[in-house]
Structures are given as C-alpha cells and as structure tokens.
Amino acid sequence: MSKIKPSKGAPYARILGVGGYRPTRVVPNEVILERIDSSDEWIRSRSGIATRHWASDEETVAMMSIEAAGKAIADAGISPEQVGGVIVSTVSHFKQTPAVATEIAHRIGADKPAAFDISAGCAGFGYGLTLAKGMIVEGSAEYVLVIGVERLSDLTDLEDRATAFLFGDGAGAVVVGPAQEPHIGPTVWGSEGDKSETIKQTVAWDKFRVGDVSHLPLDSNGEVKFPAITQEGQAVFRWAVFEMAKVAQQALDAAGISADDLDVFIPHQANMRIIDSMVKTLKLPEHVTVARDVETTGNTSAASIPLAMERLLATGQAKSGDTALVIGFGAGLVYAATVVTLP
C-alpha cells in the first residue's frame, strides 16, 4: 500500500485571463516583394496575409512575453506573486539555456514558480495549456501562466518565395487557474515524426562551428545564410486540412459536444486557405465565429492561438463564457486540440 498522500489540487481548471503583444512595426506585403518574385495578389490568394508584425531589437522574446503576461495576469484578476508556474512555448529563443521562462518569471514578479520552456512548434500553446491544466488539478500550482512567443522574422529566409511572406512576431499569454466545473476539455494530441522533414530548420546550429562554410547555403550576395524555417507547402496543406480536421472532430467528441454547440473556432493561424478548408470539412455552422487573425498578424507559430483569442475578445467578436475549439499543428509534425471556455 502506498504511503504517499493524494494530491489536493482543484477538481478542474480554466483559462482566467488572456493578453497579447504585437510588435509596433507593421510590415505589408510590399516589403516582402522587394526580395522575391511574386505579387501582393499571389500572397493574399495563397495565404490570406496582408500584413505581419516584425520585432525591433528591443522587442525580444522576453520583452514581448512580459508585456503579454502582464495583460493576462491583470485580466485574470490575480497578482504576479500568485503565479506558481510559467510555461513558455517558443522555437525562437536562441539561448540553449537557461530557459527564457525563468527570466520572465523573475521580471514579472512571480514568487519562485516552476518555470520552463517547451518546443512544440505551432502546437506549443496547446501543449502548454494541457501541462498547466495538469499542474492545477494535480495541485503543484494554483495559477499557471502559459505563453506562446515567437520572433520568426529571425528565422525567415526573405529570398524563399514559398515562406518569406508567412511569418510574423508576437506573444500571447493566458492565466490558467482552478475551477469547480470542466472548462478545458480533454486534449487530443500527438505527433507524426515520419513527416518531420516537411517543416524544418534549414541548417543545424552546430554546422556553424565548422571552419569551412562551403557546405552552407548562400544568399544572393554570396553571404552565408542564417538558419531559417522551410516547408513543403503542398504536403503541409494536405496534412493540415484533412488530418487536422479529424483531430478537431476528435476533440469535440472528447469534450462531449458537437459543432452545433460551438461558439468560436480558433485554429492555428497558419494560412487562410487552411482555416477556410477546415471550417468546410468540419461543417461548422454559420453562427460559429472563426478566428482569421492571420490576415494582419501572419503565422506566429506558438503565439498564434492566444493572440487570435485575445483579439476576438477585445473586438467583441467573441465573449467571455463562449465555448471555443482550439487546435494547433506544425513542425514535428505535432498537433494538439481541445475545447475551452473563453475567459
């Protein structure tokens, strides 16, 4: 018989507050077209993107996260000292260690919380949300801050016609806390590592340790290219539309609801065509509000879902208490979907 005492966490968890930060610089398609042979019409028709935000030198991963976190904490009505966990999902924090979550936790004024980074690409927010829910129900924290943050402009090859227009920067954050009723459904998550080559970094960091750079890709000026994100667009599109629609349906089933019960759909803001195709495949009713933040924010990977959530609530397109389906999917290939009550 075990001598370990049972955990004394909350029966359930929910999102209590949300906050976002978008860099001040807005970059229209015209800027992208300075480096690639394309057109504004082509970019919009392929992705639905008209503008995106790019960070300045001062708008670091930590700085953007702190701004978003402060808004989420205020929205939740708690103090920073009450935050018992900080989970940061990012692929664009370039220090291998320490985790940027520890710096963020200190600078927001949290009192020695658990703090760590995760790398789950565009599904990272869903992964972090699931971990936060577990921490609260298990009893290791009362309130957990989940942040998705990216500076993907640092990992964009501006001469790559297939990806140069896709990526943006920003941070989105939520506070997850205790609840007496279920407000975060079961997570349907997983990975398909056999498809890992479809979205990847072009060159591993350790390749830059080699003195001979002849093996590294060069830009149009003959300079060594910094590592960037590349993808097989058609393969990713097919996978996202057909396979992720199945995962979204599984999340609805796991939560015990149907598409008719939804108020809001917040998919990862990868591409407008993917979003619209998923809506069609899922046969979402007309009354369901669909996040299309990608048009003005671009693809911000782990930050895209909380940023889209924050904008829907701020603009009144969604309201507190609405039932929302959220799904993230991306490099790995990894995915995570769940149904939540909006804060």
- Known catalytic residue at 287: no
| From 29, 53, 93, 299, active-site residue | 299
Distance CA 336, CA 327 (A): 6
Distance CA 136, CA 300 (A): 27
Cβ atoms within 10 A of the Cβ of 211, count? Answer: 4
- Known catalytic residue at 299: yes
Distance CA 84, CA 93 (A): 22
- For the record, the structure tokens of 181 come out as 């009723």
- For the record, the structure tokens of 27 come out as 């970059």
Cβ atoms within 10 A of the Cβ of 205, count? Answer: 10
Task: Report yes or no: 318 and 161 within 8 Å, Cβ to Cβ.
Answer: no
Tokens 């108020």 found at: 263
- CA–CA distances in Å: residue 283 to residues 50, 69, 240, 246, 280: 27, 35, 16, 12, 5
| From 53, 183, 268, 271, active-site residue | 268
Task: Report yes or no: 173 and 306 within 8 Å, Cβ to Cβ.
Answer: yes
| From 29, 53, 93, 122, active-site residue | 122
* Beta strand spans in the chain (E): 12-21, 25-28, 51-54, 83-89, 114-118, 143-151, 169-179, 188-191, 199-201, 229-231, 264-267, 289-290, 323-330, 334-341
- Known catalytic residue at 29: no
Q: Which residues are designated catalytic? A: 122, 268, 299
